[in-house]
Amino acid sequence: MAKEQCYLFSCPDGFQRIANYQKLKFQKVKVVFIPSIQPDHFGGFPGFFLSSRESKNDSELDFQRTILICPKNTTKLFEKSISFMGVYLHDL
């Protein structure tokens, strides 16, 4: 049986609270589509991403990456957030 995969379209601020309330599994999200870096599309992504990485064990982290489809200027945003996202940033 194939593993269930989920796709996330935008990740607004407060997404983690809603996802936890709905009992969504962060680690099942494999592809995230971010149409812009406005807060209503991107504001909750750093927290969501870190929670999804921390909920996996080390063997899962070795081969599971999250695919992020986003505008080109998002790269600069991630470079600025290296102190916040730390070692997990290479998993994008």
Residue 18 has which token pair? 């809603």
pLDDT tens column, 54-75: 766 655 544 467 788 988 877 7
Neighbours of 33 (CB within 10 A): 14
Please determine, for residue 1, whether its predicted confidence score (pLDDT) is greater than 50.
no
Cβ-contact 69, 34 below 8 angstroms: yes
**What local confidence, expressed as pLDDT, does residue 3 receive?**
66
| pTM greater than 0.95 (yes/no) | no
**List of residues 6+ apart from 50 with CB closer than 8 A:** 85, 88
Q: Nearest 10 degrees: CA dihedral of 32, 3, 64, 17?
A: 50
